[in-house]
Amino acid sequence: MDIVSNTHHTQHLIIGFGKAGKTLAYTLGKLGKSVILVEQSSQMYGGTCINIGCIPSKKLSFLSDKPNKVSLKTAVDKKDELIGQLNRANFDKLDNLDGVQVITGQASFLDKYTIAVATKNETLILTADNIYINTGAHHWQPPIVGLSESQFVHDSTSLMALKNHPDELIIIGGGYIGLEFAFTFAGFGSRVTILESNNAFLPKEDEDIRRSLLDIMHSKHIEVKTGIQIESVSDDDNQAIITTSQGVLTANAVLVATGRRANTHGLGLDNAGINLTDKGFIAVNEHLQTSQPHIYAMGDVAGSPQFTYISLDDYRVVKSHLLGDGSYTTKGRTFPYAVFTHPPLAAVGLTEKTAKEQGLTIKTAKLYANSIPKAKINEQTDGILKAVVNVENDEILGVQLLCENSHEMINFMDLAIRQGMTASDIANHIFTHPTMSEALNDLFGSIE
Residues with Cβ within 8 Å of 434's Cβ and at least 6 positions away in sequence, in order, are: 373, 374, 377
For the four alpha carbons of 280, 285, 291 and 293, in that order, the dihedral sign comes to positive
Q: Return the amino acid letter for 46.
A: G
CB atoms within 10 A of CB 178: 21
- Considering only CA atoms, give the Rg of the chain: 24
Give CA–CA dist 263/302, Å, rounded: 10
DSSP of 191-234? EEEEEESSSSSSTTS-HHHHHHHHHHHHHTTEEEEES--EEEEE
Give CA–CA dist 131/36, Å, rounded: 10
For the four alpha carbons of 231, 233, 234 and 239, in that order, the dihedral sign comes to positive
User: Which secondary structure element, helix H or strand E, spans residue 387, and what is its range?
Assistant: strand 384-390
Q: Is the separation of the CB atoms in 47 and 56 below 8 Å? A: no
Give CA–CA dist 318/297, Å, rounded: 9
Coil, strand or helix at 379: coil
Instruction: Encode burial over 52-70: b for 16+ CB neighbours within 10 A, e otherwise.
Output: bbbbbbbbbbbbbbeeeee
Strands 384-390 and 168-172: unpaired
Q: Is the separation of the CB atoms in 160 and 53 below 8 Å? A: no
Strands 100-104 and 247-251: unpaired
Identify the bridge partners of residue 107 per DSSP, sorted by sequence position.
Answer: 117
CB atoms within 10 A of CB 100: 24
User: Which secondary structure element, helix H or strand E, spans residue 132, and what is its range?
Assistant: strand 123-133
CB atoms within 10 A of CB 94: 23
Instruction: Give whole-number Cα distances, 222 to 71, 111, 189, 230, in Å.
Output: 19, 51, 11, 19
Is 433 among the residues known to form the active site? yes
Catalytic residue set: 433
